[in-house]
Amino acid sequence: MQGFKRFLVSFMEGGDWAISQSTETRRNLRWFWADAVFATASDSITLTFFTLYLLAIGFSGAQIGLLNSLTNLSAALILLPGALMVERFGHRKELTVWFGGGIARFMLVVLALLPLGMVGKGLIWAVMGVSIIRSITGNLAFPAWMSFTADVVPIEGRGRYFSTRNLATSAISMLVTYLAGEWITRSGSLAAYQIAILVSFALGMVSTYSFNRIHDPRPDHQNANSFTLRSAIADLRASPAFLALCGVAAVWNFSINISGPFFSVHMSQNLHLTATMIGMSSIVPGITKILTQRKAGELADRFGARNIQAALMFVIPVLPFAWIFIHTYAQVLLIQALGGVLWGAFELVSFNVLLSMLPQNLQARYSAIYQIIIALAFSGGAVFGSTILATWSYQGVFLASTIGRYIAAGIFILVLRYTVFEDKT
């Protein structure tokens, strides 16, 4: 029993590297691990089945694209105020807990209960409105969360810590996704989706509790400099490496979201997959991610996160291109398995690249700027994808996404060649 306890503690801390850290740092790493596990359990339900829930209550594919665009646009508008709140008032943990962990998650309860009293267009517009409120409150907390995260996990062990943490989140995501998919398919009713969303809320609140147990390494985090749109532009001009990264992220995420909102719709309406089958298609990448995540962390620490990211950006565009030729469930599972390997590694290294470029006293500001650019890119990509879908087909959506991703990969190579970076990531 003691041996298992030591193994679990070491796993939650990301390995033996954490032994040299202070007791408080190691405690924070464990609670941050628990926060991620339950947050992922909660998100795995909404990320996999919320689009199907929207279809069940009467949303069309175009309306789903519109909602995706509006939520991302609202995120872009609220991130600057979120960063301003952090820099002016501090209280990073409190902002994260109350807005991201509290209000945003409570909106899941509202979304689950709305069909009990509304129908038709009124229900669709109400769901859109509540979803936008959920996006606003969640993203208001994002700069505080990002700044907080950069201080909780020491830079020398980030690759190993996030790789082991991602192993745990992948495992819990697979389990919850499978159980939710089985429940929804066997029930075959709208109520099954509603109950699943309520379970997502409950799991999310455990995540909120875990995050609240983390001690803020810099509880008085504030910045005397005023954060405005003008200062944001000045920050970008003063940081050419960060500006270059933002440019790459804009093209990359625009291209991703050309197709992003429509995979589940395509699987449901055109490939005629059930909720269980769609859930399983989300589990398979989790399995391949688990099998390769630790190696991805080791490679990132050995060769540098930026070099690994560059290689992955030239391979990942194969994924949407392959969807053009997919017609069977077996083919879906195969491409999803490959996606788990590639996206698992990419998410790990790209997050580490971003963390390495955030100045210690301006983490909230820079992360807000970065996320605003991504949110705007997502919004534009969803609109562009909806336009292609309305005038062409899903195959056109996948092809456009492929081309855009290759363009972003080429830009990133140019950035690596001609931009001077101050760190060794």
For residue 226, name the pLDDT band (cuts at 50, 70, 90). Answer: low
Q: What is the pLDDT of residues 261-320, one digit of tens each?
A: 889 889 988 899 988 898 889 889 878 887 887 777 777 777 877 888 889 999 999 999
Q: Are 144 and 364 in contact (CB under 8 A)?
A: yes
For residue 205, name the pLDDT band (cuts at 50, 70, 90). Answer: very high
Q: Looking at residues 238-247, what average pLDDT do you find?
A: 81
pLDDT value at position 145?
86
Whether pLDDT at 76 is above 90:
no
Domains, the chain, ordered by start: 22-215+227-418 (1.20.1250.20)
Least confident of 87-91, 101-105, 334-338, 373-377: 87-91
> Regarding predicted confidence, which is higher, 118 or 179?
179
C-alpha of 255 from chain center: 16
Whether pLDDT at 38 is above 90:
yes
Dihedral over alpha carbons 280, 283, 285, 288 (to 10 degrees) = -120
Question: Cβ neighbours of residue 230 under 8 Å, at least 6 residues apart?
Answer: none
DSSP state of 37: H
pLDDT value at position 232?
64
pLDDT value at position 424?
43
Q: Taking all residues of the chain, what is their mean pLDDT, rounded to a whole number?
A: 85
Whether pLDDT at 366 is above 50:
yes
> Regarding predicted confidence, which is higher, 212 or 142?
212
pLDDT value at position 124?
95
Token pair of 323, please? Answer: 């969807």
Whether pLDDT at 335 is above 70:
yes
pLDDT value at position 37?
94
CA distance 4 to 142: 35
CA distance 357 to 346: 17
Dihedral over alpha carbons 313, 319, 320, 323 (to 10 degrees) = 170
pTM of the model as a whole = 0.75
Residue for token pair 């690249």:
353
Whether pLDDT at 227 is above 80:
no
pLDDT value at position 404?
96
Radius of gyration for the chain, computed over Cα atoms and rounded to the nearest angstrom: 21
Q: Which of 36, 250, 275 is nearest to 162 (CA)?
A: 36
For residue 244, name the pLDDT band (cuts at 50, 70, 90). Answer: confident
For residue 134, name the pLDDT band (cuts at 50, 70, 90). Answer: very high
> Regarding predicted confidence, which is higher, 241 or 236?
241
Whether pLDDT at 72 is above 90:
no
pLDDT value at position 223?
55
Q: Which of 263, 283, 300 is nearest to 389 (CA)?
A: 263
CA distance 20 to 12: 15
Q: What is the pLDDT of residues 98-119, one digit of tens each?
A: 999 999 999 999 999 999 988 8
Dihedral over alpha carbons 85, 89, 91, 96 (to 10 degrees) = -10
Q: Which of 351, 378, 388 is nearest to 74 (CA)?
A: 378
CA distance 368 to 359: 13
pLDDT value at position 225?
57
Whether pLDDT at 419 is above 70:
no
Whether pLDDT at 390 is above 80:
yes
